[in-house]
Amino acid sequence: MKHEVLSQLKEFLSEEQISTNETIRNHHSKDESYHTPVFPEVVLFPRSSREISHILKLANEKRIPVTPFGLGSGLEGHVVPVQGGFSIDFSEMDDILEIREQDLLVRVQPGVTRSMLDKALKKHGFFFPVDPGADATIGGMTATNASGTTSVKYGVMKDQIRNLEVVTPDGEIIHTGSLAQKSSSGYNLNDLYTGSEGTLGCITEITLKVYGIPEHITAARATFKEMTEAVNAVTSIVQTGVPVARMEIVDESSIRQVNDWMETDYEVNPTLFLEFHGNEAGLNQDVAFAKEILSDHGCTSVTFEKDTRGRMKLWEGRHNLAYTYTHAYPGRSMMVTDVCVPISSLAEAIVFGREELDRQGLPGGLVGHAGDGNYHAFVMIDKIDENEMHKAEQFNEAIVEHALARGGTCTGEHGVGIGKKKYLEAEHGASLSIMKSIKKALDPNNIMNPGKFIDIG
Does residue 457 bind a copy of itself (CB under 8 A)?
Answer: no
Q: Which is nearer to a copy of itself, 1 or 438 (CB)?
A: 438
Exactly one of 93, 249, 255, 341 binds a copy of itself (CB under 8 A); which one?
341
Q: What does each C-alpha distance from 453 to 359, 368, 418, 424 come to in angstroms?
A: 30, 24, 7, 9
Does residue 409 bind a copy of itself (CB under 8 A)?
Answer: yes
Does residue 96 bind a copy of itself (CB under 8 A)?
Answer: no
Binding to a copy of itself by CB under 8 A, coded x per residue (else -) over 304-323, reads --------------------
Exactly one of 435, 445, 451, 456 binds a copy of itself (CB under 8 A); which one?
435
Residue type, 57: K
Does residue 344 bind a copy of itself (CB under 8 A)?
Answer: yes
| 389 three-state secondary structure | helix
| 254 three-state secondary structure | helix
Q: Which is nearer to a copy of itself, 63 or 342 (CB)?
A: 342
Q: What is the DSSP string of 380-403?
A: EE-TT-HHHHHHHHHHHHHHHHHH
| Binding positions for a copy of itself, 415-434, rule CB under 8 A | 415-416, 420, 423-424, 427-434
Question: Closest approach of Cβ 454 to a copy of itself, in Å?
Answer: 7
Question: Closest approach of Cβ 386 to a copy of itself, in Å?
Answer: 28
| Binding positions for a copy of itself, 284-303, rule CB under 8 A | 284-286, 289
Exactly one of 37, 282, 298, 310 binds a copy of itself (CB under 8 A); which one?
282
Q: Are strands 86-89 and 66-69 parallel, antiparallel or unpaired?
A: parallel
Q: Which alpha helices (DSSP H) does 297-369 contain, by range? A: 308-319, 321-328, 346-359
Q: What does each C-alpha distance from 38 to 28, 69, 76, 136, 183 come to in angstroms?
A: 8, 13, 14, 21, 41
Would you call 378 exposed, middle or buried from its count of C-beta atoms within 10 A (0-12, 13-18, 19+)? buried
Does residue 359 bind a copy of itself (CB under 8 A)?
Answer: no
Does residue 188 bind a copy of itself (CB under 8 A)?
Answer: yes
Query: Rg of the chain over CA atoms, in angstroms?
Result: 22
Report the alpha-carbon distance of residue 25 to residue 23 in Å, rounded.
5
Binding to a copy of itself by CB under 8 A, coded x per residue (else -) over 222-261, reads -------------x--xxxx--------------------
Q: Which is nearer to a copy of itself, 201 or 317 (CB)?
A: 201
Q: What is the DSSP string of 432-450?
A: HHHHHHHHHHH-TT--BST
| Binding positions for a copy of itself, 195-214, rule CB under 8 A | 195-196, 211-212
